[in-house]
């Protein structure tokens, strides 16, 4: 059964999460939490979910950009966003490095700010050092859309929401985004 996703205004979303200790990472409780977070992310649906979003102040996020989310996209849309499916994985205690100065703006939303979107600049390329659910060290090099997902989820783990980074003049309801902004690549509808 999916967990409740906390919404903006809940203090847990604005606190930095504590790192998980090695003995916690491999615990039954964390394995169960990961499974519940995966189910919650799928039910939402979303491409990532940080522990803060379900009220847990720990450095844990789940990520998956499922093939069915992009099955109706044109090759041009996929190429523009350099988007492709990302298999399910877990990041724990991540450290992120922005690889270059290039920034890319796309509309971004969040499961903790339901039905809202805004253009949000993000680094095009990132490197993430973390551990997985088995406590094994991982190094992730990501570009564009996948890099955006990682930045978004790691921001959550540090108490930051996309609205802290967005182009405020583009902030819109999902309905108005579809009506006025979905065909735009610039700031002007």
Read off the tokens for 108: 């971004």
H-helix segments, the chain: 22-25, 28-43, 75-81, 144-157, 174-176
CA atoms within 13 A on the CB side of 136: 5
* d(C-alpha 115, C-alpha 150), whole Å: 21
Q: What are the two backbone dihedrals, phi and then psi, of residue 91, each rounded to the nearest 5 degrees?
A: -120, 130
Bridging pattern class, strands 113-123 and 125-131: unpaired
CA angle 178/114/180 to nearest 5° reads 15
- 105: annotated active-site residue: no
Cβ-contact 34, 46 below 8 angstroms: no
Read off the tokens for 174: 């999902």
Cβ-contact 146, 86 below 8 angstroms: yes
Query: C-alpha 112: how far from its chain's center?
Result: 11
Query: C-alpha 173: how far from its chain's center?
Result: 19
Query: Looking at 29, 114, 153, 175, which residue is catalytic?
Result: 153
**Which residues are known catalytic residues?**
153
């Amino acid at each position: 059964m999916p967990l409740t996703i906390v919404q903006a205004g809940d203090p847990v979303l604005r606190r930095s999460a504590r790192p998980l200790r090695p003995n916690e990472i491999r615990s039954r409780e964390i394995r169960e939490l990961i499974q519940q977070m995966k189910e919650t992310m799928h039910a939402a649906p979303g491409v990532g979910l940080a522990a803060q979003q379900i009220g847990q102040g720990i450095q844990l996020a789940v990520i998956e950009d499922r093939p069915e989310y992009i099955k109706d996209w044109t090759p041009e849309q996929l190429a523009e966003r350099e988007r492709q499916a990302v298999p399910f994985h877990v990041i724990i205690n991540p450290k992120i490095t922005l690889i270059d100065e290039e920034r890319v703006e796309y509309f971004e939303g969040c499961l903790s700010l339901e039905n809202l979107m805004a253009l949000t600049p993000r680094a095009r390329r990132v490197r993430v050092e973390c551990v997985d659910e088995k406590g094994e060290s991982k190094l992730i090099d990501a570009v564009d859309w996948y890099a955006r997902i990682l930045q978004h989820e790691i921001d959550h783990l540090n108490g930051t929401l996309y609205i802290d980074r967005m182009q405020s003049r583009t902030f819109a309801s999902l309905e108005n985004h579809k009506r006025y902004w979905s065909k735009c690549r610039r700031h002007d509808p």
